[in-house]
């Protein structure tokens, strides 16, 4: 009988939530994953047999301390607490949190595997291999089957978790899009329906609802297609607006008839009601962004509130570098920079607040409206965004920040490029 990876040693799951097993049996420290020593353990489990350098761990575990001595003392205390917690938890006998040749390891005595480690192997095959369609299909299926949700969702506010989550989600999207093209060509709509349904559960605000509807229509399951459409309408309207859903649905030839079934006044009034809570910043189109800025400018002048405009410009760089900050071969399909922009958007979305608004202004630029925020806090937001981007290994990033509007004593004499960009967009809209 074949022995599963999770039954042969330590096996850690990070996607969709954390769990740890030893030879198939669950292990737990009964500790909050947000504690310092638990994050050390999670980092070392994620690193596996490669381990992590002390500087890397300090940057994650003690980022707020500038005093080197204090950082070191705090880190040693966290390691001590972790070793004691492991000793109390009934882990198999052995040494844990081992320092060997300037690198830390969870253990060097036992085999270590993880769900993200399995995905890393598949990613490397995609990056380095020239694959036929049959092999592509096989690898894409393996990745989509192994991907079970966001990386450590209970820690989505931590910088290092944000980067890892964006990385694996990016590859999940790449694999599922590639697989979608293959399965549509082969008319395997049942399998594609299952995969797109799973994707809609993991990332409900992505566009996989449209793929679900397309599959159901191809299978002539029209009632189910209409139900999914209505559910997607409620979800998308809260996050992106009805216009965005119509844009997505227009790419699928038969969805329009569902759209017109759903235009009664009562339905319209129901759709105008707010539902649920938004995640991250609010993304919109450039014209919508202009309208929102005009509205907030009016409100800011009436209420004496301060709103900030931020222009983020990504500078071109050599595509021999990895957009995700990892070493290896470049990705040929991202020569136009879209992959880098997607990664930046993921970081931007997690950095700004739910009431903030952003849009992709050009091929290499994003505009952000920071509502009801003082300039000093805006500079803090700017610094945090630049730090996350640097940590991700991104290329050159220029962030310009200034007040959107306000009374004369709130305005600066020198206008930034962000204000000029918005003025250009406004003039374009008037023309």
Mean pLDDT per block of 10 residues along the chain (431 residues) reads: 56 95 90 89 94 89 72 89 91 91 92 95 89 91 96 90 94 94 93 96 86 89 88 74 60 42 51 61 87 85 81 71 43 57 90 90 91 89 91 88 65 45 47 40
Find where tokens 């014209």 sit.
Answer: 287
Q: Note the pLDDT tens digit of each residue in 138-182.
A: 999 999 999 999 999 999 888 899 999 999 999 999 999 999 999
Range of the domain at 407: 282-430
Same structural domain, 209 and 121: yes
Q: Note the pLDDT tens digit of each residue in 314-353.
A: 986 544 344 344 444 344 444 446 788 889 998 998 889 8
Residue 122 contacts by C-beta under 8 Å, 6 or more apart in sequence?
A: 139, 142, 143, 146
Q: Note the pLDDT tens digit of each residue in 13-22.
A: 999 999 999 9
The answer to whether residue 385 is domain-embedded is yes
The answer to whether residue 6 is domain-embedded is no
Same structural domain, 292 and 418: yes
Alpha-carbon distance 23 to 13, whole Å? 14
Same structural domain, 146 and 224: yes
Same structural domain, 219 and 319: no
Q: What is the CATH number of the domain that holds 289?
A: 3.30.70.270
Contact 114, 12 (CB under 8 A): yes
Residue of 3, 8, 13, 195 whose CA lies nearest to 117: 13
Number of residues that this document lists for the chain: 431
Asked which of 271, 297, 328 is the last residue of a domain, the reply is 271
Same structural domain, 201 and 231: yes
- How do strand 52-53 and strand 112-114 relate by DSSP bridges? unpaired
């Amino acid at each position: 009988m074949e022995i599963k990876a999770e039954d042969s040693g330590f096996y850690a799951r990070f996607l969709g939530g954390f769990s740890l097993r030893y030879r198939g049996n669950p292990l737990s420290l009964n500790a909050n994953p947000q504690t310092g020593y638990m994050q050390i353990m999670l980092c070392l489990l994620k690193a596996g047999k490669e381990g992590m350098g002390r500087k890397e761990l300090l940057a994650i575990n003690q980022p707020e301390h500038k005093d080197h001595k204090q950082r070191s003392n705090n880190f040693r205390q966290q390691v001590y607490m972790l070793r004691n917690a492991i000793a109390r938890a009934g882990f198999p006998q052995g040494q844990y949190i081992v320092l060997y040749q300037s690198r830390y390891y969870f253990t060097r005595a036992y085999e270590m595997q993880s769900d993200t480690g399995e995905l890393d192997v598949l990613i490397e095959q995609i990056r380095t291999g020239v694959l036929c369609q049959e092999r592509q299909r096989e690898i894409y299926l393996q990745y989509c089957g192994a991907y079970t949700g966001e990386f450590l969702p209970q820690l989505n506010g931590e910088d290092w978790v944000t980067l890892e989550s964006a990385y694996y989600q990016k590859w999940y999207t790449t694999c599922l899009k590639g697989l979608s093209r293959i399965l549509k060509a082969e008319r395997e709509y049942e399998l594609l329906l299952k995969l797109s349904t799973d994707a809609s559960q993991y990332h409900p605000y992505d566009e996989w609802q449209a793929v679900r509807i397309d599959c159901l229509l191809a299978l002539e399951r029209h009632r189910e297609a209409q139900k999914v459409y209505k559910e997607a309408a409620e979800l998308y309207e809260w996050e992106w607006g009805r216009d965005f859903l119509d844009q997505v649905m227009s790419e699928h030839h038969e969805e329009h008839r569902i759209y017109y079934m759903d235009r009664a006044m009562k339905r319209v009034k129901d759709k105008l009601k707010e539902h649920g809570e938004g995640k991250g910043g609010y993304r919109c189109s450039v014209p919508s962004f202009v309208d929102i800025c005009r509205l907030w400018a009016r409100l800011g002048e009436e209420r004496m509130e301060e709103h900030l405009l931020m222009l983020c410009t990504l500078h071109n760089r050599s595509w021999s570098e990895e957009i995700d900050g990892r070493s290896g071969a470049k990705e040929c399909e991202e020569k136009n920079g879209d992959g880098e922009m997607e990664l930046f958007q993921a970081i931007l979305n997690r950095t700004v607040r739910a009431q903030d608004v952003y849009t992709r202004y050009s091929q290499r630029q994003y505009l952000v409206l920071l509502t009801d925020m003082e300039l000093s806090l805006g500079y803090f937001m700017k610094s945090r965004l630049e730090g996350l981007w640097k940590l991700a290994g991104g290329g050159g990033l220029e962030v310009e920040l200034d007040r959107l509007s306000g009374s004369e004593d709130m305005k600066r004499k020198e206008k930034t490029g962000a204000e000029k960009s918005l003025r250009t967009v406004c003039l374009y809209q008037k023309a």
